[in-house]
Amino acid sequence: MSGGATALELRRRDGQTAKFVVRRHRGAAAELRLLGLLREAGVPAPEPCLAGGDYVVTAFIEGEAGAHKGDPVELATTLAELHRADWTGVDLSFLPRMSNQNDAVLLHGDFWPGNTLWRQGKVVALIDWEDAAVGDPLADLGNGRLEVLFAFGEDGMNEFTDVYRTAMPELDYADLPRWDLFAVRRLVPEIPKWGLDPTKDEELRRMGEWFAARATSP
């Protein structure tokens, strides 16, 4: 599987099979704990099975990866629903905290179409939670805006942004340009590692430059 994950199928003695996903990263134990909380809160996420050392095992979810598919409207709706989840009384202190503001929310930390699974035009799961944190929801929005620009172009990015803002009218968006620039600094240096052909590589770089210029314009 892509993204450093491995699909594992186990056959029981009665002939039935069960599929799992095995991933390796340093925050495996924290991700396993978070997945349980996400499912209790109704957030679409993989079912946690076990973690040991650097490995986390989750149930396999049937669906299409959304890297170059999906719909900006559904993506924005999914992100807004995550940010509106109520964590009152839930201990999230095991996650990194990116902000001390009172309206900090649970962040996916790497929100982009490729970390979604789809069936029949709907997101059925948000996956790969190793970068989850508590912080400003605009951090996820800025990252999502740049990734949606890469996947769907300027119109898709604008649609994604408008739908999210309509769903989250209570937020102050004054800091969005700062988070847009944060996304550029985070993602654009990684483009050469994505194994793209030179033409696509250059196209994404130009998109990143355009996105940064918009964020810094008066």
CA dihedral 69, 107, 127, 119 (to 10 degrees): -40
Question: Two tokens at 75?
Answer: 């993506």
- Encoded tokens for 177: 């340009």
Task: Supply the pLDDT for residue 200.
Answer: 95
Tell me if the pTM is above 0.85.
yes
Provide block-wise average pLDDT over 10 residues at a time, the chain (218 residues): 55 74 89 96 94 90 81 97 94 88 86 93 94 96 98 97 97 96 97 94 97 92
pLDDT of residue 160: 98
Q: Which helix (H) or strand (E) holds 75?
A: helix 72-84
- pLDDT tens, residue by residue, 117-127: 999 999 999 99
Domain boundaries, given as residue ranges, for the chain: 5-59, 64-216
Sign of CA dihedral 189, 145, 88, 27: negative
User: Please, are residues 129 and 29 in contact by the beta-carbon 8 Å criterion?
Assistant: no
Who's near 31: CB < 8 A, 6+ residues apart?
25, 48, 51, 56, 129, 130, 132
Q: What is the pLDDT of residue 10?
A: 61
Q: pLDDT (tens digit, 9 = 90+) per residue, 22-39? A: 888 888 999 999 999 999
User: What is the third-level CATH fold of 5-59?
Assistant: Phosphorylase Kinase; domain 1 (3.30.200)
- Can you give the pLDDT at residue 19? 85
What CATH code is assigned to 64-216? 3.90.1200.10
Residue 66 is predicted with a pLDDT of 77
Query: In a 3-state reduction of DSSP, which class is residue 134?
Result: strand
